[in-house]
Structure 1
Amino acid sequence: MNGTRLFKRYMPKILEILQRGDITKVDEKTIPEHDILCAGFPCQAFSISGKQRGFEDSRGTLFFDVARIVKEKKPKIVFMENVKNFATHDKGHTLEVVKRTMEELGYTFYQKVLNAVDYGIPQRRERIYMVCFRNDLSIKNFTYPKPIPLSHHVEDFLLNDEKLVESLYINRPDTYFQSISDDKYSNQSIRLGIVNKGGQGERIYSTKGIAITLSAYGGGVFSKTGGYLVHGKTRKLHPRECARIMGYPDTYKICKSANQAYQQFGNSVVIDVLQFVAIEIGKVLKLTAQQDQ
């Protein structure tokens, strides 16, 4: 299932906009009014020639298209997510351009790197979350959600039906395990061994720890998920297990192509983290409204 089919199934109204073509070519005036704009974009190099370090410096990047929509529609909240390294990309210049641009457009800018493992999900997935409030909302005290204790590990997210995962098991002569026992739980990933030379996608982890960061790309026998020791055998994660580790409920329908599913979950955001941030957004909006009464 490609992106178009996903939108058709879950967000048909958004699909209507997407079918108009490349977002860089869509007239922002034709986009429906909205209260919240959610966006993500590549951290490609932003111009360093501009003196203002704001809206004009973002030209030529996908963020410029986010900015022009914000400029036209003025949503109450702009919620953006990116990889952890976005915060330090180009020595911090890229993040500074985004911040200055949003301030120039009339928004208060907040940003913080959050790790999924700190919000109940056993996966090391650090992402920067940028929340911007329109200035007339007078939001001055927004805070990001506080971490919560981790009570689950990878083993709690595995499928019970072995028939669904039997094709994922790997039995190779060049599998090497470290001389450590797999009997302790941890809030970190626990590497137990390797396949081949132990490169990316060739490492084996314990299900009593947390998952490594799911990836949309990468090679190796355990590509995109990493390998795990399950019932004494090694395998990568099943797409449904990836969905669970990203916070998706089992009612979520996964595309039939495993490769596409792995890529989609590797590119996705962790639902639980989004929910926690959204709750804090709701709290500060409600508190500010009460103070204004």
Structure 2
Amino acid sequence: MIIKGLKFIDLFAGIGGFHQALNSFGAECVFASEWDDHAAKTYAINYGLKPKGDITKIDENDIPQHDILCAGFPCQAFSISGKQKGFEDARGTLFFDIARIVHHHQPKLLLLENVRNFQRHDGGNTLRVVVQTLDDLGYSVDYKVLNASQYGLPQNRERIYFVCFRKDVVMDTFSFPSPQKHKIQLKDFLEKKPEVKPVVRSDIDMYKDYQPQEDADGNIVLPNKPIQIGRVNKGGQGERIYDIRGHAITLSAYGGGVGSRTGLYQVDKVIRKLSPRECARIQGFPDSFKIVSKITQAYKQFGNSVAINVLKAILCQIEK
């Protein structure tokens, strides 16, 4: 399947991670939906397309015809237990809105993303309902947990990705992209002069300096994972300090602690959080992407975003 020239819709769009990836392959976005006003504003400024609001209130007849449906849909609880009724079981959940749009428009391809633990949610029942519903609607369903750390982004971010072809379009089982062997470090994604205040506290506890290993040729072996080198207070969530020669922890839309949402890092002997621009970079957004919200909202938006490089790797595999 060649992506260029195809039309897609962007549901639960956030700030457009799916849009970034698909647009880079030449696809055209014809509709977007996002209920959060701050994220929708960022989306509109960057793509020239104003997202519609709450998808539960949008009639599927009012959505343009499309080839690809994208959705980083929320993991809303499924209030059933092993009834095995597929489409009927999905009613009352946000996934049902995806299902009703798919039922009406029958796009060729569905690209879905969710948190890693989605497959274990409600004892695996939620995943079963999703797979059965899509199968009943005429789609093959392949899914896999992928980590952004293995696809060119210095962030430990594991998410489950679904690639669903309409059965009359593609008959073969889809193979997800293999992890990339290229080693990277957070250090190379940092701003030279970020507008982030350093953490100045008396309860910072630094461990022994991290000593990277070298290979037989004397080259530094980058670990491609976060490296904790200290802590603030008791070292709880948002209180751990990491080395920039490793990777960032998972960006989050929420969280507590002095390093909430991004984690803490030692940069030039200063302890600080990542800046919004640095968060954008480790999610795969180019520096041309406009950050228009205040810092708290910006952190939330990037914490909610999909990792663009992972999507691009999946799209490459789809074209193969």
Indicate whether the TM-score tops 0.5. Answer: yes
1:35 aligns with 2:67: yes
Name the % identity: 54
- In structure 1, C-alpha distance between the alignment counterparts of 2:316 and 2:86, rounded to whole Å: 30
Q: 1:56-67 maps to which residues of 2 (within 5 A)?
A: 56-67=88-99
| CA gap 1:238/1:176 in 2 versus in 1, 3 angstroms | same
What corresponds to 2:296 in structure 1?
A: 259
1:178 aligns with 2:207: yes
Amino acid at match of 1:117: S
What corresponds to 1:286 in structure 2?
A: none
- In structure 2, C-alpha distance between the alignment counterparts of 1:192 and 1:56, rounded to whole Å: 50
Specify which of 99, 102, 121 is matched with residue 153 of structure 2.
121
What corresponds to 2:317 in structure 1?
A: 280
- In structure 1, C-alpha distance between the alignment counterparts of 2:280 and 2:238, rounded to whole Å: 19
Aligned residues: 276
- In structure 2, C-alpha distance between the alignment counterparts of 1:250 and 1:7, rounded to whole Å: 15
- In structure 1, C-alpha distance between the alignment counterparts of 2:267 and 2:198, rounded to whole Å: 9
Contact 1:113-1:127 within 8 A present in 2 as well: yes
1:135 aligns with 2:167: yes
Query: What SS does the corresponding residue of 2:241 show, helix, strand or coil?
Result: strand
1:83 aligns with 2:119: no
What corresponds to 2:265 in structure 1?
A: 228
State the 1:9 CA deviation: 2.0
State the 1:119 CA deviation: 0.8
- In structure 2, C-alpha distance between the alignment counterparts of 1:212 and 1:49, rounded to whole Å: 34
1:200 aligns with 2:237: yes
| CA gap 1:142/1:172 in 2 versus in 1, 3 angstroms | same
Contact 1:227-1:234 within 8 A present in 2 as well: yes
| CA gap 1:50/1:194 in 2 versus in 1, 3 angstroms | closer
Contact 1:168-1:238 within 8 A present in 2 as well: no
Q: 1:147-166 maps to which residues of 2 (within 5 A)?
A: 147-161=179-193, 164-165=194-195
- In structure 2, C-alpha distance between the alignment counterparts of 1:143 and 1:153, rounded to whole Å: 27
Query: What SS does the corresponding residue of 2:84 show, helix, strand or coil?
Result: coil
Structure 2 length-normalised TM: 0.82
Q: What do residues 81-106 of structure 1 show as CA deviations (whole Å, max 9, x unaligned)?
A: 00000011111110110000000001
Q: What do residues 30-75 of structure 1 show as CA deviations (whole Å, max 9, x unaligned)?
A: 1100000001222222132563331000111000000000000000
Amino acid at match of 1:178: Y
- In structure 2, C-alpha distance between the alignment counterparts of 1:133 and 1:49, rounded to whole Å: 27
1:24 aligns with 2:56: yes
Contact 2:46-2:289 within 8 A present in 1 as well: no
The root-mean-square deviation of aligned C-alpha atoms, in Å, is 1.6
Greater alpha carbon shift after TM alignment, 259-268 vs 133-142: 133-142
1:9 aligns with 2:45: yes
Relative to its length, the structure with more helix (as a share) is 1
Amino acid at match of 1:72: H
Q: What do residues 125-165 of structure 1 show as CA deviations (whole Å, max 9, x unaligned)?
A: 0000001101111331311111111322010011112xx33
1:270 aligns with 2:291: no
Q: What do residues 211-268 of structure 1 show as CA deviations (whole Å, max 9, x unaligned)?
A: 1000010011111000001111100001111111111111111124111110000000
Query: What SS does the corresponding residue of 1:170 show, helix, strand or coil?
Result: coil
- In structure 1, C-alpha distance between the alignment counterparts of 2:66 and 2:197, rounded to whole Å: 43
Greater alpha carbon shift after TM alignment, 48-57 vs 263-272: 48-57
Amino acid at match of 2:203: D
Q: 1:73-112 maps to which residues of 2 (within 5 A)?
A: 73-112=105-144
| CA gap 1:258/1:195 in 2 versus in 1, 3 angstroms | same
1:237 aligns with 2:243: no
- In structure 2, C-alpha distance between the alignment counterparts of 1:95 and 1:14, rounded to whole Å: 31
State the 1:27 CA deviation: 1.1
Greater alpha carbon shift after TM alignment, 174-183 vs 30-39: 174-183
State the 1:109 CA deviation: 0.6
> Which 5+ residue runs of structure 1 have no aligned equivalent?
284-293
> Which 5+ residue runs of structure 2 have no aligned equivalent?
1-36, 214-221
Larger relative contact order (C-alpha < 8 A, sep ≥ 6)? 2
